[in-house]
């Protein structure tokens, strides 16, 4: 079953999925981006395809401010490498709770980017 919020990490240096990366999902109890009150929702590790697709099960979708927290430092350390970004946080807002939100991370040791996927 696909979760209401999913993610995928591609290591752009190796051109392969980033496997076994810890990712934590939070929702803010506040709608104020300048003063979020983060509440933990879920934690999981990316699978062999670099994805997390099942961490929320069939929970109801809610509008609001969310954060994905990627443990990128531990991922690179396990490979004997260092990174400029030991943790990547992606904040995003759900305005249409009936829609699916896929938030991928394109990762390199010294840079990253994201977009809304499908």
The CATH number of whichever domain residue 77 belongs to comes to 2.60.40.180
Range of the domain at 75: 5-114
81 and 108 Cβ atoms separated by less than 8 Å: no
Return the pLDDT at 59.
73
| Total structural domains within the chain | 1
Q: What is the pLDDT of residue 70?
A: 98
| Residue 111 tokens, joined | 């840079």
Dihedral of alpha carbons 7, 43, 18, 67, sign: positive
Task: State how far the alpha carbon of 53 is from the alpha carbons of 45, 46, 48, 58, in Å.
Answer: 10, 9, 12, 12
Which parts of the chain register pLDDT below 70?
A: 1-2
Q: What is the pTM of this model?
A: 0.93
What pLDDT is recorded for position 55?
82
Task: Tell me what pLDDT residue 2 has.
Answer: 64
Q: What is the pLDDT of residue 4?
A: 85
Q: What is the model's pLDDT at position 31?
A: 80
What confidence score (pLDDT) does residue 110 get? Answer: 94
């Amino acid at each position: 079953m696909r979760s209401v919020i999913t993610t995928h990490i591609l290591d752009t240096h190796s051109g392969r999925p980033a496997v076994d990366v810890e990712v934590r999902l939070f929702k803010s109890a506040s709608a104020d981006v300048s003063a979020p009150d983060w509440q933990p929702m879920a934690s999981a590790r990316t699978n062999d395809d670099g994805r997390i697709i099942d961490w929320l099960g069939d929970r109801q979708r809610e509008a609001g401010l969310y954060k994905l927290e990627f443990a990128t430092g531990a991922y690179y350390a396990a490979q004997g490498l260092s990174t400029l970004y030991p943790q990547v946080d992606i904040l995003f807002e759900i305005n249409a709770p009936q829609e699916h939100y896929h938030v991928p991370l394109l990762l390199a040791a010294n840079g990253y980017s994201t977009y809304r996927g499908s």
